[in-house]
Structure 1
Amino acid sequence: MPEHVQTEITDGIGILTINRPDALNALDGPTLKQLDAAFDRLNRDTDVRVIVLAGAGDRAFVAGGDIRDLNSRRGLAHYQELAEDLHGCFARIEASDKPTISAIDGWALGGGVELLLCTDMRIAGASATFGLPEINLGLFPGAGGTQRLIREIAPCRARELMFTGNRIDADTALSLGLVNSVIENGSVLDAAKAMAATVASKSPLVLKLMKRTLRHGVSMPQPAALAYEQAMIGLVLDSDDAHEGCGAFIEKRQPEFQGR
């Protein structure tokens, strides 16, 4: 089977690259399985503190699902096969205790937008293009897009993108809060690595507990979420890293976090 997903680990940063540039890094069944397996390996690797997702080449991050593959499917088989794999993989990325960053060069369409919605932070190149064009194919976003996008940006704008299938440029995506920053073309992966290096220098244990606080708290009523936060910060204050960080501040030195 061709290798459609590549991984690299440098200085605590795991870089996961979807490598189907001739197909604009579209996600078909085999690529999705490789993506899931590769992400799982990085997620389990204790030397990896931050994971960066990127697409090979400068034409696309992920240009969506493979249309020929989708056209070959019918409802129940799709539900039991590709949709199950899509939702499982994307949910695992979203639920990772490690911070994740999308480096978006070129097109992020359909499943590409749905994938980046599962990551914590996103950096886009100036010529990046975003869209959910499924409606033009007689479909709608079915890999979590309907649920994640409407929770991420203003609901009326989310509906507009999904109902019209229109594409937006990087600056519009920034104004909507879909990405964190827009930088010059050709520098996206370097910028994502720089952001990852900053995050990787923090306590991996505290990041893990903060991610859990954010992820679970958002679905709770606010009083319950605040109580949950109070309990989680109590766990943090039991860690060596919390006292290393405070001690380093008092002693005017850089902290050395060990994840304990």
Structure 2
Amino acid sequence: MTSNVVVQVTSQGPVGQLTINRPEALNALDVPTLLALEAGLDELERNNEIRVIVVTGAGDKAFVAGGDIGDLDSRQGLAHYQEFAEIVHRVFRRFEDSDKPTIAAVNGWALGGGTELLLATDIRLISAKARLGLPEINLGLFPGAGGTQRLMRQIAPCKAKEMMFTGDQISAEEAVSLGLCNRVVAHEALMDETLALASKIASKSPLVLKLLKRNLRQGQEMPLGAALAHEQAMIGLVLDTADAHEGCRAFLEKRPAQFKGQ
């Protein structure tokens, strides 16, 4: 794997990891960082050996502490729309649309764009030291990297509005209670637990995970009747895979399944 100044790309077996590497700036997102994050995601998605992708932040303080405020203050609306906003929406959507399961290891502050990034991942483990929030209202702004739409779809609207209207931060425990994260993990154990979970998921059929993710993602955007019909068609497609029959046979033969992604 490769690394560059702002995003490190590494792997352990079938698990790929993207580490946003600007600890001196609390891993704040600017255009070069977003483009490096997208390039790293491209690299891991192209690698057929990688089955699960983890994203985290470098250092002990921050996952992503938001956007680069100085850079933001230098922009006018049209330039922002055409450059930063266009890029950040595209990159976060890439995480959301990835056929490989994504896990956020939230190792510290996840504010503004940090919360918006984790909202685009599939699973989120959070350090007991971490805090989440969308503080843009305190700057005379509101979340503009997908936060207003994803947050309203993932937690109760009244809580989403409170977070955005006040700009208050929430603790790791509250993030879990709201359904924003899966579970709180001791800070020093965060990466071990994240990689263990990633490895467990990576042991499943990568082809069936791909079809499952597509079914879930596409079904969310359909009325229930259409989503159920879509599921019916997709499970039929799954039964045309060799992995489905390997899994059934392994169960009947009382042995571990050997999934090959076929």
Which bracket does the TM-score occupy, shorter chain normalised?
Answer: over 0.9
Residue 34 of structure 1: aligned partner: 36
1:73 is displaced (CA, Å) by 0.5
Mapped partners of 1:65, 1:40: distance in 2:
22
Q: RMSD across aligned C-alpha pairs, in angstroms? A: 0.7
Mapped partners of 2:203, 2:18: distance in 1:
20
Q: Residue deviations 1:64-113, cap 9 Å, x none? A: 00000101110000000000000000001100000000001110000000
Aligned partner letter, 1:7: V
Residue 230 of structure 1: aligned partner: 232
Residue 249 in structure 1 maps to residue 245 in structure 2: no
1:212 is displaced (CA, Å) by 0.4
Mapped partners of 1:32, 1:72: distance in 2:
18
Is there any run of 5+ residues in structure 2 with no aligned partner, and where? none
Mapped partners of 2:155, 2:42: distance in 1:
28
Mapped partners of 1:38, 1:7: distance in 2:
6
1:7 is displaced (CA, Å) by 0.7
Q: TM-score w.r.t. structure 2 length?
A: 0.98
1:219 is displaced (CA, Å) by 1.0
Aligned partner letter, 2:87: D
Is there any run of 5+ residues in structure 1 with no aligned partner, and where? none
SS in 1 for 2:53: strand
Mapped partners of 1:229, 1:46: distance in 2:
26
> 189, 199, 206: which one pairs with 1:204?
206
SS in 2 for 1:113: helix
SS in 2 for 1:253: coil
Residue 121 of structure 1: aligned partner: 123
Residue 94 of structure 2: aligned partner: 92
Alignment of 1:54-73 (within 5 A): 54-73=56-75
Mapped partners of 1:79, 1:90: distance in 2:
15
Mapped partners of 1:108, 1:189: distance in 2:
16
Alignment of 1:34-183 (within 5 A): 34-183=36-185
1:135 is displaced (CA, Å) by 0.3
SS in 2 for 1:223: helix
Between the aligned residues of both structures, percent identity stands at 64
SS in 2 for 1:186: helix
Q: TM-score w.r.t. structure 1 length?
A: 0.99
Moved segments of 4+, more than 3 Å: none
Mapped partners of 1:17, 1:246: distance in 2:
37
Mapped partners of 1:164, 1:15: distance in 2:
33
Residue 219 of structure 1: aligned partner: 221
Residue 11 of structure 1: aligned partner: 13
1:127 is displaced (CA, Å) by 1.1
Number of positions where the alignment pairs a residue of Structure 1 with one of Structure 2? 259
1:58 is displaced (CA, Å) by 1.2
